[in-house]
């Protein structure tokens, strides 16, 4: 009985905290400066365009930007409806090959893999050091082994990229080094967009964190979100929980970072996915 009572109390506390988090969403427009939210929303198309440009550059600019953006949005829609977003890249590649028969689905998939490696490498390299420095007191031997395993996986992906070069896959990208430089540049643009969006949304919800704390915290958050396997149905609570854990180390009220993480998820995942479905139906 004591165990059931304790479990009931924990569940009740969790539901109350979750209800409080989402009740804040209705009060925020009347309590805080709305222009922070508008600025955050304004960077959503920048984020999508930077992703489309990186993928387009890897395909050597064979497809127009507007259609590439539509393919990216359609891929996000398919990813949202599939477990572990497995259909995102194949849907993008299919949409591109449908537009231009000269680009095969395989070439689109390979460009998508390289694109994913770039943004993952950027997030891992920037985020691994602040993650360790901030949470080193919580790192056990098991956690250390997990981190080592993740790093090994990262190097395996780099080895795969080397194999692609050796087999002369996506040869037009490999031959022209300026394409790699452009793709890396668009990767940095997208990474900066994440920072700007988080800076705006945290100010909007009233979670003020000094800049020296803010930069490593966002790096930590992006890293743990990248390496955490999720399915669409639990993606939002996972992101909200990680936001509360990571930003809660600098801001004691964990509800506000949780709401901020939910808002970022709605803007960067749900909104583009819905737009992608609408564009696909129109066509």
pLDDT of 95-117, one tens digit each? 888 887 777 787 788 778 778 77
Report pLDDT digits (tens) over 112-147.
877 877 787 778 777 777 777 777 665 555 556 666
All structural domains of the chain with their residue ranges: 32-282
Question: Cα(123)–Cα(222) distance, rounded to whole angstroms?
Answer: 7
Question: Cα(110)–Cα(127) distance, rounded to whole angstroms?
Answer: 25
Report pLDDT digits (tens) over 245-259.
889 888 877 888 988
Question: Cα(32)–Cα(225) distance, rounded to whole angstroms?
Answer: 27
Q: At a CB cut-off of 8 Å and minimum separation 6, what does 23 contact? A: none
pLDDT confidence of residue 144: 60
User: pTM for the whole thing?
Assistant: 0.76
**Is the four-CA dihedral 132, 138, 141, 145 of positive or negative sign?**
negative
pLDDT band at 30 (very low <50, low <70, confident <90, very high): very low
Tell me phi and psi for residue 92, to 5 degrees: -60, -50
φ/ψ region of 206 (left if φ > 0, alpha if ψ in -120 to 50, else beta) reads left
3-state helix, strand, coil in the chain (%, to 5): 85, 0, 15
Question: Cα(74)–Cα(66) distance, rounded to whole angstroms?
Answer: 12
pLDDT band at 171 (very low <50, low <70, confident <90, very high): very low
Distance between start and end Cα atoms, the chain: 59
Query: Would you say 232 and 85 are in contact if contact means Cβ atoms under 8 Å apart?
Result: yes
Higher-confidence position of 65 and 8: 65
């Amino acid at each position: 009985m004591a165990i059931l009572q304790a479990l009931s109390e924990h569940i009740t506390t969790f539901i109350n905290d979750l209800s409080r988090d989402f009740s804040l969403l209705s009060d925020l427009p009347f309590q805080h400066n709305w222009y922070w939210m508008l600025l955050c929303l304004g960077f959503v198309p920048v984020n999508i365009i930077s992703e489309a440009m990186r993928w387009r550059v890897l395909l050597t600019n064979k497809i127009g930007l507007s259609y590439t953006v539509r393919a990216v949005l359609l891929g996000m829609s398919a990813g949202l409806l599939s477990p572990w977003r497995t259909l995102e890249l194949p849907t993008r590649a299919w949409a591109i090959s449908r537009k231009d028969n000269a680009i095969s689905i395989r070439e689109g998939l390979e460009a998508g893999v390289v694109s994913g490696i770039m943004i993952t490498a950027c997030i891992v390299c920037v985020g691994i050091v602040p993650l360790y420095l901030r949470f080193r007191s919580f790192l056990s031997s098991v956690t250390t082994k997990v981190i080592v395993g993740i790093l090994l996986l990262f190097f395996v992906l780099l080895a795969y990229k080397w194999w692609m070069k050796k087999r002369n896959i996506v040869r037009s990208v490999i031959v022209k080094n300026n394409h790699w430089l452009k793709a890396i540049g668009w990767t940095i643009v997208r990474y900066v967009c994440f920072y700007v969006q988080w800076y705006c949304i945290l100010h909007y919800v009233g979670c003020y964190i000094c800049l020296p704390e803010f930069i490593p915290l966002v790096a930590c958050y992006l890293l743990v979100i990248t390496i955490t396997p999720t399915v669409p149905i639990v993606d939002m609570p996972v992101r909200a929980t990680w936001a509360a854990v990571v930003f809660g180390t600098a801001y004691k009220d964990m509800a506000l970072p949780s709401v901020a993480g939910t808002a970022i998820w709605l803007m960067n995942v749900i909104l583009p996915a819905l737009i992608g479905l609408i564009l696909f139906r129109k066509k």
